[in-house]
Amino acid sequence: MGLLLTAACAARVTEAPAALPPFPLVSAPPILDTPAPPPDPVQELIASSTRHFERGQQELQLGHLEAAKAAFDQALEVLLESPFGARSHPAVRDHFDRLVERISAYEVTALAKADGFAERTLDPATIDDLLAISTFELPAPSAETRQTVAADLRADAHDIDIPLNARVLQLVQLLTGRMKAFLEEGLSRSVQFLPMVQDIFRAEGLPLDLAYVPLVESAFKPSALSRAKARGIWQFMQGTALENGLKHDWYIDERAEPEKATRAAAKYLRTLHDLFDGDWHLALASYNAGPGRVQRAMRRSGRTDFWKLAATTRYLPRETRDYVPLVLAAIIVARNPAQYGMTIQPVDVPRRETVTLPGAMDLRRVAEWVGAPVQTIQDLNPELRRWTTPVRETDYDLKVPEGTADIVRVHLAESDPDALAPLNWHTVKRGETLLSIARTLKVNRTDLAEANYLSIRSKVAAGQRLIIPRAPTLLLAANPEPAPTTAALQASDAAPASNTAAPPTAAAQAAVIYRVKRGDTLFSIAKLYRTTVASLKTWNRLRSNTIQIGQRLTVFTSLPAVATN
């Protein structure tokens, strides 16, 4: 029985289960290639227009006005030339109006800034902040600072006397502590100027330690401007600069040109040295306060030593009492920066070369020719106050990036000299004065006078040609005609067309009444009459870019009358 059960169990265990029927294979439905929806021609048109506009924005940021204008024109032209037209499709019409508004806003902004005639942006001079900080309680010098400075003065021969007194030590502590980052930045920037400064001072027989004075004055920034209107790495006041051979007018300020300013500083420091019988401490005090003030302080006190004069508040201003020890402290640290924990990262010095210009030149045009931002050209020529070289100075030497001088020369040879600078001119009429011209043309009277090398009290004569310190941008209206020649301007009785709020005089241009037709836009009308959208809106008191069929617009133009149907 047991065997039977065992056999039965064994039979049940070894019995293979019945095979399941195979799962029927179902073929997947074929993936059909659904065609992509056709591109929306309207959206493609708008995208193309937007790409041109964005390129114009990029060019404008670089200061490339011609390239920006061409790109903005193209952004509008692709809409005007499309089968839809600029006004027939709602989406295209809205995009067109937005573009005109945005480009017009750029133009208005440029005009508000005098479009290249506004003075370039300057940096605040460091001396204001440094002398302000020194009025607070200064840190007591650490034992380490005392030891380091004492060892420094023993080991290093300085070519001006540096006393180891409490005020100098306090200011060394300030410059290597709280003001460390400031001094490191100035020292890093100084690397590109120090060889030039030292060469000039060595040739003039001046102490090389004085090459570090700009650390305190400006942190070696050519564009530095103090609250007292001192300028450049040597922080010359305008009167002192003129006395020492530096040129200053509406177009140029040589205080900002490092080499020219350094030669003037060497001359001035030599004069102060001789005036104070070789005492460099008094010479430095007078560099800050003026020699007259220091001489009066010496007469009043009967003292001839700077440190005795500075021991009381009675004779010298506070900033002068602090200025001399601050310069000496900066010299100590600058001579051995690593010893005071300074990290110097030299600023890259752009290589440059010079090209001689035959006349006035718009820096933005040069920037476009050499493919550089206009800021690069300005940085290479810090003495230029505006975006143009002097209008009445020939053979001006302009610095350009290395390897580009020949490119500029080729463009100069191929260009009309009268088209190289965007200048507006006005021929004085009988009875006009600088004030009346300034009011009529809506420019500042002082700028009008100085741009023409006149004083605001100067009289002008009928027939005299004046530069109007406002350059046309014409970002919106393409002008296929070449710029007027000098001869043409001389024959004209008024300035060439420009983006002004006031309409031209009847003697210069006639008023035309234009009736708007189907498909017209402010842009197309402005282009037809070679004016701008901004001018059309001003002349007709329009608040938007919308115009209606049959609407009458006043246009001031010197062109022959255009049929208006």
For 62-135, where are the alpha helices, taking DSSP H only? 65-80, 85-88, 90-112, 126-133
Residue 381's CB is within 10 A of a number of other CB atoms, namely 20
Mode of pairing for the β-strands spanning 123-124 and 224-225: parallel
Those residues whose C-beta lies under 8 Å from the C-beta of residue 45, and which sit 6 or more positions away, are 78, 79, 82, 84, 92
Using CB atoms within 10 A of its CB, is residue 95 exposed (0-12), middle (13-18) or buried (19+)?
buried
Whether the Cβ atoms of residue 164 and residue 306 lie closer than 8 Å to each other: no
Cα–Cα dist 70/474, whole Å: 10
Q: How far, in Å, CA of 87 to CA of 76, rounded?
A: 12
**Known catalytic membership, residue 353:** no
Work out the angle at residue 439's Cα, subtended by the Cα atoms of residues 436 and 444, and round it to the nearest 5 degrees: 110
Amino acid identity for residue 231 in this structure? R
Q: Cβ atoms within 10 A of the Cβ of 249, count?
A: 14
Q: Which of 187, 165, 175, 164 is nearest to 139 (CA)?
A: 175
The one-letter amino acid at 426: H
The DSSP H or E segment spanning 513 is strand 510-515
Taking the CB of residue 73, how many other CB atoms lie within 10 A of it?
A: 22
Question: Which is nearest to 471 in space by CA: 445, 433, 437, 499?
Answer: 499
CA-based R_g, the chain, Å: 36
Which member of 59, 184, 217, 383 is catalytic? Answer: 217
- The Cα 259–Cα 406 span in angstroms is 24
CA-closest candidate to residue 525, choices 553, 497, 491, 505? 553
Name residue, tokens 């020492």. 244
Q: What residues are annotated to the active site?
A: 217
